[in-house]
Amino acid sequence: MSVTNDERGSEMKSPEQETLTCGKCGSVVEKTYDFCPACGGVFVEHVVCVHHPHEEAEGVCVICSQPLCKTCGLWINGVFLCEAHQEYEVYEGMAKVFGLSDEVQASYAASRLKQAGLHPFLYQRKASPISLGGPDYTLFKASGEYDGHIINEIKVMVPCQEVIQAEKILTDLEILK
């Protein structure tokens, strides 16, 4: 076996050495990443599309982590997504798994996701969008669903990389159909 333990126990490095800033979205991410988990931008060279081995990857789908070429993926609001995941609302590295108006069930869903080791975040619009500060307002504006009536939707969001896991858990619980 060629496994070394030398790499372990090296948590003492300073943050400057451990991180880099994404040139596309400005997110600060760990240097060990090959792509930006917030926007899907590729940091390393010679990454090819999973469907087209001769095409350079344009980005990595932030939901399923597949590197894809221009034909197979798309930049939507600055986030790279594959065809299957283009409908997702993505905001600062978080994606909406589902939305509902029942606060109790939303908290239940979040607590089950937490138990499974995920990092859910409940986003609730309590006030009129006009009174919300910048980023909050942008989130709802980006969702394109504001019609002046849907005030109480609670968005269950998880980090993009946890979406597939979260959906499986919620489907098993029959929260998500």
Asked whether position 118 contacts Zn ion by CB under 5 A, the answer is no
Asked whether position 51 contacts Zn ion by CB under 5 A, the answer is yes
CB of 76 to Zn ion, least distance (A): 12
How many residues sit close enough to Zn ion to count as binding (CB under 5 A)?
19
Asked whether position 93 contacts Zn ion by CB under 5 A, the answer is no
Cβ atoms of 142 and 91 within 8 Å: the answer is: yes
- Point out which span in 20-28, 87-95, 103-111, 137-145 binds Zn ion (CB under 5 A): 20-28
Considering Cα of 31, then 35, then 41, then 42, what sign does the dihedral take? positive
CB of 176 to Zn ion, least distance (A): 17
Q: DSSP string spanning the chain?
A: ----STTTT-TTS-HHHHEEE-TTT--EEETT-SB-TTT--B-SSS-B-SS-TTSBP-EE-TTT--EE-TTTEEEETTEEEEGGGTTS-EETTEEEEEEES-HHHHHHHHHHHHHTT---EEEE--S-GGGS-HHHHHHHHHHT---SS---PEEEEEEGGGHHHHHHHHHHTTS--
- Point out which span in 3-11, 79-87, 122-130, 148-156 binds Zn ion (CB under 5 A): 79-87
Residue 71 or residue 111: which is nearer to Zn ion going by CB? 71
- Point out which span in 1-9, 59-67, 144-152, 154-162 binds Zn ion (CB under 5 A): 59-67
Asked whether position 95 contacts Zn ion by CB under 5 A, the answer is no
Asked whether position 22 contacts Zn ion by CB under 5 A, the answer is yes
Candidate residues 48, 52, 143, 153; the one interacting with Zn ion per rule CB under 5 A: 52
Candidate residues 42, 47, 57, 61; the one interacting with Zn ion per rule CB under 5 A: 61
In a 13 Å sphere around the CA of 78, the CA atoms on its Cβ side amount to 12
Point out which residues bind Zn ion (CB under 5 A).
22, 24-25, 27, 36, 38-39, 41, 49, 51-52, 61, 63-64, 69, 71-72, 82, 85
